[in-house]
Structure 1
């Protein structure tokens, strides 16, 4: 192998290995696969027993309208499109057809995500439970690896008995606690004592990323710094904030709660002179009064806005 060929091979390996790792945003509707998980996703049975010989009781992508394992008459449901990923209470049954210890422990784990910052959130649509049985899932995160024992608990979703089967709701989880500059994994954990409860949980339309966007408006240069009133106001859950930068500056745009605590930093770095608009998503925040402050060069201004859910 001559030097030129060797150099070309090294470059290819470098590009390939780095491009595989650089997933910064996940937007997954589970529409491109059937019976298997999307590339990079995987499932783990973390129970103390091997589960049913039917592997589809653990997290599996299905077409809506198909019969669900463990349910006599219920069909697969989806929020959007024709598919979703779901897990059955039958994950509590071992390979002999017995009840195991009755506790299902099934993990659905995302691909590795890089570039997580303080604005990152997880949004997803989910449905669980039925008229007779409660259900739940837990959200976990890891900045070590994708082994369940290295994840930390973030949040739970619970559906009480009396829930409407197949009725989806959107949920939002703040991921700022995982923003340590290292790659992270997110997991959906189905941990249910199915000797008592448990039915079927569907998850669909998963988004992981930074919903904050800073956009340039036009190409003109403003004469002075300015901070506009957000619109709409009141808002739920998103609003837009316009601001003007008179010359290239270090710019910081920060959201505070009524106690003066920082809840979001929308911009913190150099921006060229121009007119800008930032989008703020308050999905993870409670209703109330919030303040936003623009700092650029010697210019500082603060305005008030109202989140009403």
Structure 2
């Protein structure tokens, strides 16, 4: 059992979200099973069952805003990476469109926890030309241009 807790009690009323924290535990021994917990003012502690003998913890800053960075390399020979930021858990979609506005590839679609991610485009089936990667999430929309050269 992995127990998470606040270091000191809160003076906020239950239900008032404090500095909300998320933790994600990935157990490689069970094929990458993930367990998530969220600490808020209402639940200042959480217990996460885990059959893990060793645990590596990596702390990373939570982004302040949604963002979609420029794809790299650009121009690309077919493979490209798009780095994106999610400030809080959100439903999002990242898709690639051709110049006629047709969706040709979906890179991400669904709920994502707060954090910074990379989406990898395998454009080996795409023709040479200009494409647009678009991220949409809860009122946020950003589009980045990507050129594929063969």
Q: If each structure's helix is expressed as a fraction of its own residues, which one has the higher value?
A: 1
Aligned-partner Cα distance in 2 for 1:281–1:221: 28
Cα pair distance change 1:307/1:245, threshold 3 Å? same
Higher Rg of the two aligned structures: 1
Structure 2 match to 1:282: 123
4+ residue runs of structure 1 moved beyond 6 angstroms? none
Does 2:73 align with 1:236? no
Deviation at residue 296 of structure 1 after TM alignment: 1.0
Structure 2 match to 1:294: 135
Structure 1 match to 2:147: 306
What are the within-5 Å matches in structure 2 for residues 181-260 of structure 1?
A: 219-260=60-101
Residue by residue, what CA displacement relative to the aligned partner does 1:167-212 show, whole Å, maximum 9, x if unpaired? xxxxxxxxxxxxxxxxxxxxxxxxxxxxxxxxxxxxxxxxxxxxxx
What is the CA RMSD across the aligned residues, in angstroms?
A: 1.4
Deviation at residue 251 of structure 1 after TM alignment: 1.0
Deviation at residue 218 of structure 1 after TM alignment: 6.5
Report the 3-state secondary structure (helix = DSSP H, G, I; strand = E; otherwise coil) of the residue aligned with 1:301: strand
Aligned-partner Cα distance in 1 for 2:147–2:107: 17
CA contact (8 A) 1:242 1:276 kept: yes
5+ residue gaps, structure 1: 1-216
Structure 1 match to 2:108: 267
Report the 3-state secondary structure (helix = DSSP H, G, I; strand = E; otherwise coil) of the residue aligned with 2:93: strand
Deviation at residue 238 of structure 1 after TM alignment: 0.3
Structure 2 match to 1:179: none
TM-score, scaled to structure 2: 0.60
The size of the alignment, in residue pairs, is 93
Q: Which has the higher contact order (CA 8 A, sep 6+)?
A: 2
Report the 3-state secondary structure (helix = DSSP H, G, I; strand = E; otherwise coil) of the residue aligned with 2:110: strand
